[in-house]
Amino acid sequence: GAVVSQHPSWVICKSGTSVKIECRSLDFQATTMFWYRQFPKQSLMLMATSNEGSKATYEQGVEKDKFLINHASLTLSTLTVTSAHPEDSSFYICSASRTGSFQPQHFGDGTRLSIL
């Protein structure tokens, strides 16, 4: 199998708080992990590509100082939403793929973030 665990599954916090989301590949090593954002009834929007041991690559329009990504090991990447505001409320999903050419991405169960 290829299991990806994401934690927490949902979080509610006050405006101005920083929130950390973890993404773990449980039964395989993932050189590359991906962070997506999904709005209701829409497709997944790639935010950034997380590479183990190096800086993340952010998509155009995504603020790297707002969404901090750390990929310190082959099984863990974290996304920190800094000084979150209501407009950051969304469904955040991570994925991971095995090392190798064109491997499928396997997704976590997502994190529902609600900023009050």
Partner 1 sequence: GQQLNQSPQSMFIQEGEDVSMNCTSSSIFNTWLWYKQDPGEGPVLLIALYKAGELTSNGRLTAQFGITRKDSFLNISASIPSDVGIYFCAGHAPNSGGSNYKLTFGKGTLLTVNP
| Positions that interact with partner 1 (CB under 8 A) | 2, 4, 6, 31-32, 34, 41-44, 46, 49, 51, 57, 91, 93, 95, 97, 101-110, 112
Minimum separation from the CB atom of position 66 to partner 1 (A): 20
Query: Using CA atoms, how far apart are residues 71 and 29, in angstroms rounded to an integer?
Result: 12
Minimum separation from the CB atom of position 87 to partner 1 (A): 21
> Is the Cβ of residue 23 or residue 81 nearer to partner 1 in the bound state?
23
> Is the Cβ of residue 15 or residue 55 nearer to partner 1 in the bound state?
55
Structure tokens given for 82: 């800094």
Minimum separation from the CB atom of position 17 to partner 1 (A): 22
> Is the Cβ of residue 49 or residue 82 nearer to partner 1 in the bound state?
49
> Is the Cβ of residue 89 or residue 103 nearer to partner 1 in the bound state?
103
